[in-house]
Structures are given as C-alpha cells and as structure tokens.
Amino acid sequence: MTINNIQINQSGTYSITVTDTLDCKADASVVVIVYPTPIPAFAGQDTIFTEVPVDIDAGAVFLYYLWNTGDTTQIITVQNNGWYAVEIESQQGCMGGDSVFVLFSTPPEPLPDIRIYLPNAFSPDSDGLNDEFKAVTNSENIESFQMLIYDRWGALIFESKNISQGWYGTFKGKLCPQGVYVYKVEYSMYASSTGQSETKIGTVVLVR
C-alpha cells in the first residue's frame, strides 16, 4: 500500500522508500519512541470513603500538577465531600489526569462560633458596588487567616493574611481578565482547645 503519511502509536524503527516520477528510489528509517499517557497514583479509585481528612497523592514522578482546588502540589489534603481532579505532565511533556470522589462517613466538625462567607462573583469596576472579593465573618475570634487566589492555570495571583484585605481583580498592577478563579481560604480561632483550622475552597467569577 502506498500512502503519504502514517500515524504511529507504538515505539519502533520505521522505514520508508520514496520513488519519484523517473522511478528513482531512496530509503530512510527513523526510530520513534512513544511515551505512555501519565496516570496519577490514585487512579482506579472511583470513591474514597473516610472518617478523617485524607491525603490524595498523584505520584512523585511527574513534572507538573494542577488540581481543581487550585493546588499545584503532588499531594492535597481533603477535608470535605466532593470530586477532586488533577492534571499531570510527565517528564517527557505528556499530559494525563484522573479524578476521585471523597465521601466522609462522619464529616469533620466545623470550628464553633465562626462562619466565613465568600461571594461567588464580584465586579471590580470602581462603582462602589461589589468591587472587592473578600471574606466576611460573623466572629471576632479569628486568630489566623490566609486567602489565596489562583488563575485557571493554577498560578498564584493574590495572597492575603488579613481578613479585611480583599482582591480587586488585579495582578502585578494589571487588570485580570473576566473569568473564573479558584480561591483557598484557611483560618483558625483564638482559644481553640484542639488547634483546629478550617479550609474553604471554591471558585469566584470576575465580571467586567
């Protein structure tokens, strides 16, 4: 069979013979290495049942990680029910990924007397209405606080350790484009007998 091109899905040595209109021929060969699609270490688990916070490990052999939580680490600690997905890149530049559902049989108890509220959208257009994305609380007993904002590629674009300081939709002095961003908020309270902290992870829509 004579064709101009082929698709390769297996490693090996491939040879080709080219014939021109004068019936002159030339031969060549090439060695092709096909790298497999990378698979996270937790792949194969549809659901993780647990009573306590659980670590999900994507595996230590990869070049890059991006979780749907905004984390870019090999391992994330999960404290809430839900789907957790990761995209990975192998050392050879191949992309892969998988997801797993985490279900707590006994959900972790929230910190007493503390409620943190975060809007699901904001519009930083300087009209004095909903210009700032920040946490709102009904308690004055917060001891530590941290808010991280990530873009769709998992890059950290904003960080605040002051609950009264929010994000105005900028990065390095420039306006961020309209779209969905991932936030991660972690806080704890004064006089906590357990030293317990709570984490909120979600998305916010920047509207322009």
Encode the chain (208 residues) as per-residue pLDDT tens digits: 455 666 766 777 877 888 878 888 888 887 777 778 899 999 888 888 888 899 999 999 899 999 999 999 999 999 988 889 999 999 888 898 888 889 887 655 554 556 778 888 898 888 777 889 988 887 777 888 999 999 988 899 999 999 889 999 999 999 999 999 999 999 887 655 455 678 888 899 998 8
Residues 147 and 197 in one domain: yes
Report the distance separating Cα 90 and Cα 33, nearest Å.
15
* Domain hosting residue 197, numbered range: 116-206
Q: Which two tokens stand for residue 82?
A: 């839900």
- State the pTM of this model: 0.45
Q: Note whether residue 94 is domain-resident.
A: yes
Of 79, 104, 129, which residue is a domain's last?
104
Distances (CA, A) of 1 to 4, 6, 7, 17, 158: 10, 11, 15, 12, 58
Residues 124 and 191 in one domain: yes
Q: Is 53 helix (H, G, I), strand (E, B) or coil?
A: coil
Q: Note whether residue 177 is domain-resident.
A: yes
Number of domains in the chain: 2
